[in-house]
Structure 1
Amino acid sequence: MPTPSPSTAAAPAPVFTFDGELEQGGWIRGRVPAGTVEAALGEEPLSLDEDGRFFAAFDRDADPAATLQATLVDGRTVTRPLAIAPRAWDIERVNVARRTGGSSASFMRRRQPELDAIWDARLRETGATGWRQDFIWPVKGRISGRFGAQRIYRGEPGSYHSGIDIATGGSGTPYVAPADGVVVLAAEDFSLEGKLLIIDHGQGLNSAFLHSSRLYVSEGEQVRQGQHIGDIGASGRATGPHLHWSLKWRNSRLDPLLFTGPMR
């Protein structure tokens, strides 16, 4: 049988390539098929760099199935189903009623502008490329609060813990940037978060650092992985000195532990 010439040999099928943590609170990083003009994870459009690379992630309560989809320049569609592993979250059931009544009008007059500033900061596109890096711990210490932990009050779920808490030697302990990025918010006195720092890592991924005693960077500043960006404190609504570090991709809340691996 004659060997097909290069001009008649079948081209390889277009595929997604990626790696990461395919579980609730996890992430993937990869490349779209050649010739892709647009791509999405489910209904969420993906941002692509000049080489067709992308970052995407899965919320704490993500469904067990998701789909990557790409539209090619010739009109074809390429799909890749994903199985998202469930997590056994730390759930505490308490036999007391959840406190009702909500926040006072006077508190919300202060709080709403803070929420708006946080929302706007997380929407900013800075072109940062830290999403490509392997993240490092901003500080090492005792993990005093884990991502996803939640209380259920007589069957009514409360808010789950949206980040990871790291307790160290006390107020003033330095912490560093876990990856490259651009500072999109550096707030000195927010009602709940205290001194709050948000860093955009690009592609819709951002880190927030709460309760600092001091910030060393300002809005618009580029930071590098490992750079000293703040000191741990107990500002805002905190019971003691610790660093609360949270990660979001678009509207999905993510587990920092799945970015760094176990603390060593």
Structure 2
Amino acid sequence: MVLNKAKFFLVCLGIASIKVFSQDSVNKFELKGEIIQGGLIWGVASNVSEIYLGNTKIKTDSAGHFIFGFDRDDTDKQSLKIIYKDNQIDFKVLTPVKRSYNIQRINELEQKYVSPPKELLEKIEKETKIIAEARLLIDNTDTAYYLSGFMRPVEGGRISGVFGGQRILNGEAKSPHNGIDIALPAGTPVYAMADGVVRLKGDDFHYNGNFILLDHGLGLSSVYVHLLKTFVSTGEKVTKGQKIGEVGSTGRSTGPHLHWGVQWYKKRIDPQAVLDLEK
């Protein structure tokens, strides 16, 4: 294999779009997205054989489309290696920009507001296992359903919770907020952000209430939580803009809103990064 030294890149800042061509104009790739914590990168490569992000092989579809993202807490440089069918290599070093997150400390709370009661632990453990099993199916999807493009899953509303924030309750750090909360009246339609497959329609889960987990292909997924109603079934194919549910306040929720989350495999992605790809 040949590493074209002219094609070695070091990127330390977020980018809007990159297009790079190899010298023979046959081997080429394009990246679009922002290199930042919680960012999502869309890519396509021609004449491609394999793609690696660090030591992890990235899935591609038959046309060379691929996608990858940076977790909320990713700080290390990531090497992107694109190997073409003629054994030429493009190599790119990506350094995600560090973000600042809102950290809220609340003390002297009753314990029931910090940790769930013991009688619910078995139910929560069972539900966690169900979600994990559904996500295994997402890990194995080779179709890039997301090529339909992306859209906001609700119209209007107030952003009541941003990506990445975290609460520390009585000194105990809770899980960061891995999505966006959009406050809207109960019954407001919720739409699929892109084409995909329903991997799980959950009912009456302790934390999520009624929710839908969609698989958009090549490791990309989205989740719609606290729904009043759901209109799809596990295993069903959906299209971008299809009504899949209604805003509610089920599960652990204090009022009607949609919690909208996005992941690339286990990487927690800011949903706003998905919408930014459409700009």
- Please, what TM-score do these two structures have when normalized by structure 1? 0.85
Partner of 2:145: 130
Equivalences for residues 1-264 of structure 1 within 5 A: 11-12=24-25, 14-32=27-45, 34=47, 36-73=48-85, 75=87, 77-94=89-106, 103=116, 105-124=118-137, 125-139=140-154, 140-152=156-168, 157-168=173-184, 170-261=185-276
- Please, what TM-score do these two structures have when normalized by structure 2? 0.81
- TM-superposed deviation, 1:172: 1.1
Cα separation, partners in 2 of 1:76 and 1:166, compared to 1, 3 Å: same
Cα separation, partners in 2 of 1:70 and 1:155, compared to 1, 3 Å: farther
Q: What percent of counterpart residues are identical?
A: 38
Distance 2:34 2:125 in 1: 34
The size of the alignment, in residue pairs, is 251
Cα separation, partners in 2 of 1:44 and 1:96, compared to 1, 3 Å: farther
**Rg (Cα) greater in structure:** 1
Select the structure that is richer in strand.
2
Q: Deviation per CA, 1:15-57, whole angstroms, max 9, x where unpaired? A: 54211121110111112363x3321212332111111110111
Q: CA RMSD in A?
A: 2.6
Larger CA deviation: 112-121 vs 155-164: 155-164
Where does structure 2 lack aligned partners over 5 or more consecutive residues?
1-22
Letter paired with 1:144: S
Distance 1:245 1:142 in 2: 13
Cα separation, partners in 2 of 1:52 and 1:129, compared to 1, 3 Å: closer
Distance 1:97 1:188 in 2: 29
Distance 2:60 2:131 in 1: 25
- TM-superposed deviation, 1:241: 0.8
Distance 1:13 1:95 in 2: 60
Say whether the 8 Å CA contact 1:30–1:54 is kept in structure 2: yes
- TM-superposed deviation, 1:186: 0.4
Distance 1:155 1:13 in 2: 56
- TM-superposed deviation, 1:79: 1.5
Cα separation, partners in 2 of 1:54 and 1:149, compared to 1, 3 Å: same
Say whether the 8 Å CA contact 2:39–2:269 is kept in structure 1: yes
Distance 2:123 2:173 in 1: 26
Distance 2:231 2:55 in 1: 38
